[in-house]
Structure 1
């Protein structure tokens, strides 16, 4: 559906923080009761080198997405040449094991190769972006069904007059780069699901409220311009020490769903650097944050997918930026470092299973 659904759109536009339940119940009845596919971000070399990791993925996942491989710095470390080894291997693994693969990502501010710093004009930026989308989406047309077309476009602290994050695309093309990327991707693969993916929406803070408002303004403008946008990816990198703004998230999802957009949870984990040292207590808090976040989404509509950013605490990005001061290992993911399920995995399994 490419236009706003009148009833949900009209109701959602007037929501206050405390008035989501009627809309949530109405929307939930419209959504599928089938099981929600679960997946994880995958490191391709570990599928070959770590048999426990491979078994964990095979035993739990219906979807995969590459942690890397399809990012510009991996695909195009030098101009004029593409390196498809990692995404080709991950797609072959997915195909061989009855899984689907998501594409992440076509336009992002980060993980850009050094050579792109020499791009200096709008025309050149558009040409390089189009070349990238034509080559990458064209290679996987009909095989990767869902793409994070633009990733993290909204600033961490968006001002009304300047909501967009600085990037090569924003700096040289402007906000129009989002629409251009969507339209080009749709032209290359008309059957692909096109997704805007972003984070930082989930807490009861002014920062999160401002980011939700800025994101909604962008999405409304895209829909009013009939841009080919089909779904929203809510990353869900949840700060463990902060409460989930359940009413705020439900209202936000209701607005998006009311514009005819599907919802995906795309990068779920819990940043636990500020949580207690005791592992059992910490795991319970992590699970409670995930439960509150998923319930806030699910009260409006069951998402089309739930993916975590990694599957085991043995391999996670979190300690790169959020290492614990007490020396304890971070525990942000559904399986521990020995691939045993934690309370977070039980929450995910309960949420994603088919509803009667």
Structure 2
């Protein structure tokens, strides 16, 4: 009887102790990439139309959890936002900006002046005065509408050839290199508080790199304000080399140009034509051997992709004093533009999240770089 009473007393004392003990701390959710790199640079993603229209809630949640900056893939390009001289389509761009504001993200506008996805009425302009007017009206209307709300603009996109010479765009044919200075002047007038960038692909290429620096020095000498350079990061598993990208970062920084990596993705598919960058006019007929992973990515390629991303982010971290932003071009593999370029119908795997919104080994490798003691 005594033993039973003692056992009961012990049990009661344990229950009292458990009742008085504080509950175990709730397990914190894992930090997103923006938090992991918060002291280094902004990390973000480009948003497609479905995400902006709130037709992909999982991607929206992923963006809010992982990133601190956003860029629109298409809704702000000239033909989308001003299809005719007298018509503006503000709805999608308004939704994009509202999403960024709701979640306190650094909002990038993309892009004010680009030769591609350009409205037909602009292509028909041959008079220099009329082209200056079109530039001023478009930039003033678009950048002006979001003044104080958009934090940075890709003012001019892809104005150079790979050898550093000027691309023969509609703007260049009518105005020559003057259009570049005008674009940055008009943008500064319309959105004086926004950062203003030049954005292009293959910016690691030595000739193009040097041409970009010369071009921006000329724009600045003529009174245009350029606050940084966007290096589109459309890379492959094996190239360009880390040393080549690093040399470009250092050259831009030496020229007084902070660097943004604006369109980062890594293709895992074969590229027999040695194509580089993002020239959207390039397209080729499909062939079975050009789509080697239609269902899933082999473990060996997943590992190679993870290693490539780790190498890139080690480079970015090493130059965090020169780099202000790293933006992935898309949210998941399913939404990547590389599924249809340069060959339609292929299945690519270039981003950190798979088609089911799950982080890939590449994500883990990028997170590990941030967590590595230095």
TM band (smaller chain): 0.7 to 0.9
Q: How many matched pairs?
A: 313
Matches of 1:90 and 1:41, distance apart in 2: 11
Residue number in structure 1 paired with 2:324: 304
User: Aligned-pair distance for 1:350?
Assistant: 4.4
Residue number in structure 2 paired with 1:115: 121
What does residue range 267-286 of structure 1 map to in structure 2 within 5 Å? 267-274=263-270, 277=293, 278-286=297-305
The runs of 5 or more residues in structure 2 that have no matched partner are 1-36, 272-291
Aligned-residue RMSD, C-alpha: 2.5
Residue number in structure 2 paired with 1:254: 250
Residue number in structure 2 paired with 1:133: 139
Moved more, 182-191 or 342-351: 342-351
CA contact (8 A) 1:236 1:267 kept: yes
Matches of 1:171 and 1:351, distance apart in 2: 46
User: Aligned-pair distance for 1:40?
Assistant: 0.7
User: Aligned-pair distance for 1:91?
Assistant: 1.1
Matches of 1:218 and 1:346, distance apart in 2: 39
2:225 equivalent among 224, 228, 232: 228
CA contact (8 A) 1:137 1:185 kept: yes
Greater CA radius of gyration, 1 or 2?
2
Residue number in structure 2 paired with 1:192: 194
What does residue range 329-344 of structure 1 map to in structure 2 within 5 Å? 329-344=347-362
1:95 equivalent among 97, 101, 109: 101
Q: Please say if 1:45 is aligned against 2:50.
A: yes
User: Aligned-pair distance for 1:237?
Assistant: 0.4
What does residue range 51-90 of structure 1 map to in structure 2 within 5 Å? 51-90=57-96
> Normalised by the size of structure 2, how large is the TM-score?
0.77
Residue number in structure 1 paired with 2:311: 292
Matches of 1:338 and 1:279, distance apart in 2: 17
SS of residue matched to 2:212: helix
* Residues 107 and 78 of structure 1, relative CA distance in 2, 3 Å threshold: same
Matches of 2:372 and 2:112, distance apart in 1: 32
Residue number in structure 2 paired with 1:317: 337
User: Aligned-pair distance for 1:165?
Assistant: 1.3
SS of residue matched to 1:158: coil
User: Aligned-pair distance for 1:212?
Assistant: 1.9
Matches of 1:291 and 1:118, distance apart in 2: 46
User: Aligned-pair distance for 1:263?
Assistant: 1.1
Q: Please say if 1:150 is aligned against 2:156.
A: yes
User: Aligned-pair distance for 1:274?
Assistant: 1.3
* Residues 34 and 158 of structure 1, relative CA distance in 2, 3 Å threshold: same
Residue deviations 1:145-178 (CA, integer Å, cap 9, x gap)? 10000011111x326xxx0112111111111211
Structure possessing the higher relative contact order (Cα contacts under 8 Å, 6 or more residues apart):
1
Residue number in structure 2 paired with 1:17: none
CA contact (8 A) 1:44 1:89 kept: no
User: Aligned-pair distance for 1:192?
Assistant: 1.0
* Residues 274 and 128 of structure 1, relative CA distance in 2, 3 Å threshold: same
CA contact (8 A) 1:238 1:289 kept: no
Moved more, 242-251 or 125-134: 242-251
* Residues 49 and 108 of structure 1, relative CA distance in 2, 3 Å threshold: same
Matches of 1:354 and 1:230, distance apart in 2: 31
User: Aligned-pair distance for 1:267?
Assistant: 0.5
* Residues 201 and 260 of structure 1, relative CA distance in 2, 3 Å threshold: closer
Residue deviations 1:11-61 (CA, integer Å, cap 9, x gap)? xxxxxxxxxxxxxxxxxxxxx981422111112433522222222222212
CA contact (8 A) 2:181 2:223 kept: no
* Residues 322 and 271 of structure 1, relative CA distance in 2, 3 Å threshold: farther
CA contact (8 A) 1:150 1:181 kept: yes
CA contact (8 A) 1:34 1:354 kept: no
